[in-house]
Amino acid sequence: MTINQSASAKRNIVFLVLVASLGYFVDIYDLLIFLIVRKRSLTDIGVKPADLLATGNNIINWQMGGLLIGGILWGVIGDKLGRIKVLFGSIALYSLANFANGFVRDPGTYALIRFIAGIGLAGELGAGITLVSETLSKEKRGYGTMIVAAIGLFGAVAANLVSKYDWHVAYFVGGGLGLLLLLLRIGTYESGMFKNVEETGVSRGNFLMLFTNRDRFRKYLCCILIGIPLWYVVGVLISLQPEFGTALQATEKLNAGDGIQYAYIAIAVGGLVSGLLSQVTRSRKLIMLLFLLLSAGTVILYLTSTGLSSHRFLWLCFAMGFGVGYWTLFVTIAAEQFGTNIRSTVATTVPNFVRGSLILINVGFGALVHHYGMINSGYIMMAILTTLALLGLSQLKETFGKDLNYVEIS
């Protein structure tokens, strides 16, 4: 390879990481925007105060259902047709859906469009992480995914800041950012590993392969379990701040949008720290274990904060966010566990099944609250999810430095 070719290859890698990072930025913005504008937007379209919680949960469940379906759809497309096609298709779909969300006037239409947006949002992160993991060297790919996490998660900050002006504008901005991102995608290149597998004619994107082999299914299930505590923290403990504020006898009105912003700033910081530590220690599993235990500790701190002030609430959101700052490390672990012919399927479905698990978490948490109240239910649910995550982590093999240029055999 000549010096000019080497310099060109490095520029392509830097550009790929940058575009993947910005893609994740827009993904997080659009993923969280409803949680941030939930109360204002529903009130504005005529939902009664007594129905805000139920209607909001219904809409977020529709969005998460879209993520579940989209995760399978885009994952299979990524392995069959290429990672780049997923990025273009998913971005176009969720961008148009967000524009449409700015015009909704009733809860039914709101839920339908969030479902469509969820399908679109499902493709971005998995395809981006797969591209970065397959393009960078095995020694440096952790740094690439670390950068994706650090830049991408600030999309939550942008969503909260923009939403303070108007919830309609917040959706329009999200759609506009996505369409601008499409222009950047034009300069990205397909994964070399995918091209090599494509030429061999081996079976690609076979979702059923994950269920036809017991060891492969066990590994897949464990990958999902290790990420579930994050969405419980964000989707329940922070998002349901009016209910938790009342249960914790908050001395001031708490703002879920600000809480999510602080949490995602901390998740970005946690993503940097967890990624860096996994490179320094040369272990994904060790750092994942430390962050899972840290996350449980911060949730206990939150649930014992009787007499909660708005200032303390924000710092607790920051602490909990840092504790679950293993998101891109967790997706990287999933991508590194499987062969190139189903890697996109895994890297796309795993995080979206984790996001979609919020549906079951909401149902389970609601049932617990009916019997044990908000605070005790918070403890019980976190204990269950953390135990499952630790069990899943114990069953996975260390993947730091693993050669990813291989395929899964049917």
* Residues 134-156 pLDDT 10s: 777 777 777 887 788 778 777 87
**Alpha carbon of residue 33 to chain centroid:** 13
CA distance 280 to 245: 39
167-192: average pLDDT: 80
* Residues 289-318 pLDDT 10s: 999 999 999 999 999 999 888 888 889 999
CA distance 347 to 341: 12
Q: For residue 6, name the pLDDT band (cuts at 50, 70, 90).
A: low
CATH class as words, domain 11-394:
mainly alpha
CA distance 151 to 139: 21
Q: At what angle do helices 52-80 and 124-135 cross, to 10 degrees?
A: 40
Is it the case that residue 82 has pLDDT exceeding 80?
no
Q: What is the DSSP string of 91-103?
A: HHHHHHHHHHHTT
Is it the case that residue 127 has pLDDT exceeding 80?
no
Q: For residue 5, name the pLDDT band (cuts at 50, 70, 90).
A: very low
Judge contact between 317 and 262, C-beta under 8 A. Answer: yes
Percentage above 90 pLDDT, the chain: 25
CA distance 319 to 270: 10
CA distance 227 to 218: 15
Show the tokens assigned to 113: 């469009």
Is it the case that residue 96 has pLDDT exceeding 80?
yes
Q: What is the DSSP string of 324-358?
A: TTTHHHHHHHHHHTS-HHHHHHHHHHHHHHHHHTH
Range list of β-strands (E), 121-167: none
Domain boundaries, the chain: 11-394
CA distance 111 to 346: 27
pLDDT for position 195: 66
pTM: 0.80
